Structure 1
Amino acid sequence: MTRTKEEAEKEATSLLAEAKKSGVVFAELARDNSDGPSAPNGGDLGYFQQGTMVPAFNDFAFDNPVGTIGMVETDFGFHVIKIDDKEDLVQIATLSREIAASEETTNKLFTDATKFEMETIEDEGSFSDIAQKSEYLVRPVNKIKQLDENLPGLGAQRGIVQWAFNDDTEVGDIKRFNINDGYAVVQLTGVYSEGLMSAEDASATVLPIIRKERKAAQIIAANQGKAMDAIASDNNTTVSTASALTVKSPTIPGAGSEPVVVGTAYGMKEGETSDLLEGNTGIFKIEVTKRTEAPKLDNYATYSNTLKTNAANRVNSEVYNALKESSEIEDKRATFY
């Protein structure tokens, strides 16, 4: 329908008056009379941001409160507007800013680190006490190797490792190092010489083995000559059945890898019972209840070729390791790295 401007204004004024009457449903009025694309939706334009509409329409919508009904003229004609609702616009942004220590903070950090270094040098034996008093964290690092680079809690600190292995550095020496986040004050507390390990250092590895052997001997002595059911009853355990055991994969369910136990079983006859056996995880007494022979192969060529190929693939590494073990090598990499 084409109207003159006067006709359109007259129609819009009439609809405005109708819209302001009590009980009139604005959506029905818009659906039945609007010439705009929002007519099927009852004139509902949804939510829109400021600046989206033409100026006159925009100003009316954002300058008036919810519930206001009015008319504005734009280049598109006359608009009867009702403000149904408004929502606050929230803008979200990520602000990134590099945080750098001030000169005052940097100077204080340097002063504190230097003071701690000087105090510990004066009394090497009180390193931990002074650190605790100053509320500094002490990180013990055990058995650093000459070519190590990363230190627990400090990351890549090759300079500290080189200092520790320097011929001029002695046990008890203390030195301050610059690190990424500040300073580390380091003390060399011990040196491990190449060769046979001392009894004190070896005790951590050997003592568990000795305890295991002694305990195994006690258990065997206490249960010698007993039947399997009696051993289970006296030691608060149960007799279990393990099936489908193979020498290639000597794993017993509930016990783990036990090559000695499984190997012993393979040397026994069906129905035979073993003596008490010392395994990796405990003491065992076994009875072979059934043996299943492996199926015979018509041709062993495939198996033979597999063994041959595996052996050939190991030649290069085995020769290299043999040459390495038989050679006198003086490793100087730490001097240049």
Structure 2
Amino acid sequence: MRDAFTRVATALLDDDPRTALVLADISADAFAPAARRHPDRVLNVGIREQLMIGVAGGLALTGLRPIAHSYAPFLVDRAYEQIKLDLDHQGIGAVLVSIGASYDAAAEGRTHQSPGDVALIDTTGRWTVHVPGHPDEVGPLLRAAATHDEAVYLRLGARGNADAHIGRASGRLVTVRRGSGGAPVVVAVGPMLDPVLAAVTGLDVTVTYTNTPRPLDTTGLRAAVTDHDAPDVVLVEPYLAGTSSHLVAEALAARPYRLLSLGVGRDDLHRYGSPADHDRWHGLDPVGLRRSITQFTRFTPTILA
């Protein structure tokens, strides 16, 4: 996904004189050719992430469309006050593009982990949040974000699904697998789709997918549970568990429902390990997901025809 971002952002810089890029050393080498061609629109402020957001805000005020890029904990956690004041409070937008997801760089320790980034973005204004599940989804999402002036957060990870859903960049909740009437509905966000599909093998569930959890497609969610009197909904996100629970509550406020929110736990595990280790520790691997889903829905697993 990082390579896809570099290619598309470079093309935008070449093709659209309104596009600007602000870096804080991360990925500076990858954008060196673009910086030589566009020294006035590719700015590397060094390891000063707060300044990076401030500069992006200033560029937006001049009419440019700035893209600010770094690891998620540096781009969002460290620069949260600048996002709040230099962008949201000023009523201006930018495209923030992170890498590292929740713990792609787990070997670097807690400083490089950011499971709470989307929850932090939620505390500011109305942001569009994209969480692509495949590298081929990155380009359409980034190009769409470059065409307007609203606030967009594009969250990239090192891992993803086997198949891209290029045509699903509109934010709609798409049904990937349909269960029987009244079957539980699982909402998989971005790279969680393949682990979810593996987890529910042989279970009667409907699986839906989105790479745009903000704004959440509440109309699509309500449609997915149309046949249910009191639906079981399982929300699986690749960041802090429960981040989108309030949106599900708003979407289904007029009816009874049960919700299980799965994601990264709130405890600091004080462990390094690999991303796969963290998936397992947080119950986000197929085995852990299946255990949580079957316990919540009280399934007796059966093989579907």
Shorter-chain TM-score category?
Answer: under 0.3
Highest Rg: 1 or 2?
A: 1
TM-score with structure 1 length normalisation? 0.18
Higher-strand-fraction structure: 2
